[in-house]
Structure 1
């Protein structure tokens, strides 16, 4: 399809952007204002804040790796290189310190899950 590679590369850039925003949101604690609006007394615990920080950063890194893989598959014209999150995590795991990175990523996803439960409790969104 004419322009197909450009569209797929653009999709990869958007996925990287989503990942970068997740990293930014976690590192700057931007998510706290959503939680504090619904929390009693306006504060959430430090455990929830740390869970959100680490969780957003881990999720952002995983999305960024996925976006890079989509772009790489586009540039090399090899659709088999563009896979899902499982392939992104396998790519991380194949690195020299990949097992350690995967453990931290898994812990990050667990903490993001804990944060998501807290978010469901504290936010007033419908």
Structure 2
């Protein structure tokens, strides 16, 4: 089916579902990042026996499942992540953000689609855990798998290096979004409590900066895997946390990034409340 035909088919239904899905999805994403931040902070200072080696999103799902009413809570998170994925795919297919069909616009829409697929896979993983199956690989293993498959190809080290540069670029863009204040572009501050507006908005700047640092470290580890032709050196967020913990003043660095990720989670709630959702 042609791209335009898919768009017209989806747009024939009432657009309110897009807003509901987007806000519920942003809230679910906020819950996941808040838990990542809290548990990473506890791991940084060895509180509660937590380890920075088990802090990817899949491990967060296991943590939720272990709580009272864990299956219900994880099911709600899974539904929320499905909503977030559908919203991202809607942005890509229907071009609700009006990015257009030039090279830059297509690239942004591909980014929305990729985000939708990533969070859709996370929702699928969470749903499997709710239904009693916890099989699957963590974020670090998936990146090692990707690195290994790339390295097996002709010019594999160059391909892996290009992917590493792309990941680092994502990290730099997250920090750029923070300090250019592009993250505020669609936030209606009038919908936030007036006495807390500045604090809530600042959580976004701190959060996007922390997220950029984590992406940058993941990219650096992927680059090491490319240079050394060793897929085992690639890793996800858990590996990034271990890298920080093993650095000079590691506990403080990991603790600072953990607070930043908690702020990012809080800002997802701000987005759920105050973002303009185009339909």
TM-score for the superposition, normalised by structure 2: 0.42
The structure with the largest alpha-carbon Rg is 2
Matches of 1:85 and 1:3, distance apart in 2: 27
Residues 20 and 26 (structure 1 numbering): CA distance in 2 closer, same or farther, change over 3 Å?
same
- Quote the Cα distance in structure 2 between the aligned partners of 1:120 and 1:17: 26
Structure-2 residue corresponding to 1:14: 166
Match of 1:55 in 2: 207
Decide whether the 8 Å contact of 2:168 with 2:220 is kept in 1: yes
Q: Describe the superposition over 1:55-91 as per-residue Cα deviations: whole angstroms up to 9, x where unpaired.
A: 0000000100100110011101111100111001100
Task: Check whether the contact 2:222–2:233 (CA below 8 A) recurs between aligned residues.
Answer: yes
Residue in 1 that maps onto 2:246: 94
Aligned length: 124
Measured against aligned partners, the alpha-carbon deviations of 1:21-68 in whole angstroms (never above 9, x if no partner) come to: 1111112221112113x7449x88101221000000000001001001
Of residues 109-118 and 23-32 in structure 1, the stretch that sits farther from structure 2 once superposed is: 23-32
1:79 aligned partner: 231
- Quote the offset at 1:124 in angstroms: 2.5
5 Å-filtered alignment, 1:107-118, equals 107-118=259-270
Q: How does 1:28-39 map to 2 (within 5 A)?
A: 28-36=180-188, 39=190
**Aligned to 1:101, what secondary structure does the other structure show?**
helix
CA–CA distance in structure 1, aligned partners of residues 214 and 191 of structure 2: 33
Moved more, 53-62 or 20-29: 20-29
For 1:73 and 1:48, how far apart are their aligned partners in 2?
38
State the alpha-carbon separation in 1 of the partners of residues 190 and 170 from structure 2.
27
Structure 2 unmatched runs, 5+: 1-152
| TM-score with structure 1 setting the length | 0.91
Matched, 1:2 2:142: no
In structure 1, runs of 5+ residues without a counterpart are none
Over the aligned positions, Cα root-mean-square deviation in angstroms equals 1.8
